[in-house]
Structure 1
Amino acid sequence: MYVFNKTISKFVISVMSSLMVLGSAAAADFPIKEIKLVVPWNVGGSNDISARLISRILADEGVTVVVDNVPGATGTIGMTKVANAEPDGYTIGMGTSSTIAMIAQGLTPLKNEQFAPIARVTTDQLLLLVPKDSPTKDLTSFEAMVKKNPGKISIGTPGSNNLNHIFAVMTGDVVNSEIITVPYTGGAKVIVDLAGKQITAAVLKPSESKAQMDSNMVMPLGVFANERIKSLPNVPTFKEKGFNVFPYGPLVQMAYLVAPAKTPPEIQERLISIFNKAIQDPRFKAASEDGGAKVDSLTGKALGTEIVSVTNTLAIVGKKVFTEKK
């Protein structure tokens, strides 16, 4: 019996060793086919723009990345698709602070634990924008209009119960007034309606509105941050104009890449290596910074820690802004 058990043990060890070797070999060869990158927002938004630039950069490295736009439910439909995908590294997704906000407030069955963090793509500051022919030409006059017309000023946002929505609400709160929030399935649709004067204002990333700003179709009034945006030096912050849009602490708007949670560690490391290299590429950095975003190198477990931190903050802020006000 002892000899038999010893033989079985040797066989199990041999099989496990073989699987580990095969796994390492598979990781070394990864990828052998195209990688699907799910962007849970419409075509033309900032996340879609970033994903497609990453795809072009990786094409030069011989890696094929196909962008799959799956909008809806403030990003959670697309991210659910990622969570349920085969954990082989060939389906990844672009999460955002909007995804985190939905998780933090319990507005989706999704959990952060369903994903393996790969790499942060960008962190962004958000802008308050109005059509070029708006009766208000600066932040102070806009807030005066909000105060004078409670419940009548409409502000468009990509998604709801996220940072854009929080800042839209705070735009009214800073003058003790209320606004009407109008959620869309992506920034590209918001900017079209803003330029067409279907809404009074919008809260968007600079990259989602740069083309329309350059074409003088819309104009930025203020930055929801403590510092001005380097590429928009003439646009003041809410803070310097005396409006506190961070009464519950600082908030971070970011985009990041994740894989399904059960993706093998070796494949996760390959994904980190492949995608972080593209994110650190000078072409991606230049385009992102020109659009008002920041690029750093936050990957793997460190990114996971940041996601948890942002989730905890948004759970507190979401409750104060959306629950306690009701």
Structure 2
Amino acid sequence: MKQNIFSRIARSLVGSLVALTVAAPVLAQNTFPSREIRLIVPWNAGGSNDISARALSSILGEKGIRVVVENVPGATGSIGMTRVARAEPDGYTIGMGTSSTLALIAQNLTPLRNSEFASIARVTTDPLLLLVPYNSPYKNLDEFIAFVKKNPGKVSIGTPGSNNLNHIFALMTGRIAGSEIIVAPYTGGSRVIADLAGGQINAAVLKPSESKAQIDGKLVRALGVFANEPLQAMPDVPTFKSKGYDVFPYGPLVQMAYLVAPAKTPQAVQDRLIAMFSEAIQSERFKKLSAEGSAVVDNLTGEALNKEVVGVTAALVEVGEKVFANQKK
């Protein structure tokens, strides 16, 4: 008799555990988030990634979801993204990954690996511009390239971070001129544009969203777009390709920003993060803001985004090896 009672109790406990196991993902998805989410931007405040993060925070805040943006700049994004990778995998700490950090991963310049993150949603893809101070004597791309050619090792080009796409395109500017340039790395685009407008550096490689206000205010001038197609928002700025300059000799490159969580975040929580942030990214308000900065918004999430991250990293392995190997020579 006692054995039957114990058997029934055991079966009941097993059944309860199974029910809880099945219900846990649903429960997590229904209750998350129950407190504020910390979104780490691994760059200084005021840059394009920071602007996008704060816009998403505002949009989600209107829906009762509190997202606090925290700027953790340094080491071309590695310091902030390391905090994300090491955070508790509960969905309450996420980060803004970029192609800049992927370039470091590709070149083994950081201990971080893509496997330490769960991809949530792509925020934007962004073209890059070559800019000079507005009062620079070089008013077009051909004049600036000629200036670089005549002054090997004397022309400074500022970039947010180093060993990233901005750095690569700065070096490519020297390459097409057949000359060496000085790359001046900063901890964020806002600092680059400030020094460029002040004439502290000769040129800079930045996103349109990081420089449009200064372009409109006639503090800096855009000379060229590192892309094959012109920007709709800046149709008068030529592409390097249209001027006969090949800045993609080793294959296409894409500058992008995307959201990630720690790798072991439960799938149900990942799904909730994807749903929340995708809705905000696809909102007309965010799309309009992005378009004003010539950034492109798509709907790449989850595993599809992860495949894109792996693909971009692979491309950066090849390009980084060739470009930076040539620099060392």
* Coarse TM-score class (shorter-chain normalised): over 0.9
Q: Quote the Cα distance in structure 2 between the aligned partners of 1:96 and 1:11.
A: 47
- 1:109 aligned partner: 111
Counterpart of 2:312 in structure 1: which amino acid?
V
Match of 2:274 in 1: 272
**What letter matches 2:289 in structure 1?**
A
% of aligned pairs identical?
65
Q: CA deviation at 1:293?
A: 0.4
Root mean square deviation, CA, Å = 1.7
Q: Are positions 1:94 and 2:96 aligned together?
A: yes
TM-score by length of 1: 0.96
**Mapping of 1:211-250 within 5 angstroms?**
211-250=213-252
Q: What is the correspondence of 1:1-16 to structure 2 with a 5 Å cutoff?
A: 11-12=13-14, 14-16=16-18
* Superimposed CA distance per residue, residues 267-317 of structure 1 (whole angstroms, 9 cap, x where no aligned partner): 000000000000000010011011010000000000000000000000000
Determine the structure 2 residue equivalent to 1:253: 255
Give secondary structure in 1 for the equivalent of 2:57: helix
Aligned residue type for 1:323: A
For 2:99 and 2:18, how far apart are their aligned partners in 1? 40
**Which one of the candidate residues 158, 163, 166 is aligned to 1:164?**
166
Q: Distance in 2 between matches of 1:101 and 1:13?
A: 49
Report the alpha carbon displacement of residue 22 of structure 1 after superposing the two structures with TM.
3.0
With over 3 angstroms needed to count, the CA separation of the structure-2 counterparts of 1:130 and 1:267, relative to structure 1, is same
SS at match of 2:212: helix
Aligned residue among 290, 293, 307 for 1:291: 293
One-letter identity of the residue aligned with 1:35 = I
- 2:27 corresponds to which residue? 25
SS class of match (2:218): coil
CA distance in 2, matches of 1:136, 1:24: 61
- Aligned residue type for 1:267: V
SS in 2 for 1:314: helix
Cα distance change of structure 1 residues 220 and 11 upon mapping to structure 2, 3 Å threshold: same
> Hey, what does 1:308 align to over in structure 2?
310
What is the CA-CA distance between 1:176 and the residue it aligns to? Answer: 1.1
Look up the SS of the partner of 1:174 in the other structure: helix
- Paired position in structure 2 for 1:132: 134
Are the structure 2 counterparts of residues 318 and 9 from structure 1 closer, same or farther at C-alpha, using a change threshold of 3 Å? farther
Hey, what does 1:123 align to over in structure 2? 125
| Distance in 2, Cα, partners of 1:5 & 1:94 | 52
3-state SS in 2 of match to 1:293: coil
Q: Distance in 1 between matches of 2:281 and 2:14?
A: 41
1:55 to 47, 54, 57: 57
TM superposition score normalised by structure 2: 0.96
> Matches of 2:220 and 2:268 in 1, distance apart?
47
Cα pair distance change 1:246/1:8, threshold 3 Å: farther
Q: What amino acid sits opposite 1:168 in the alignment?
A: A
Distance 2:254 2:154 in 1: 28
| Displacement of 1:27 | 1.4
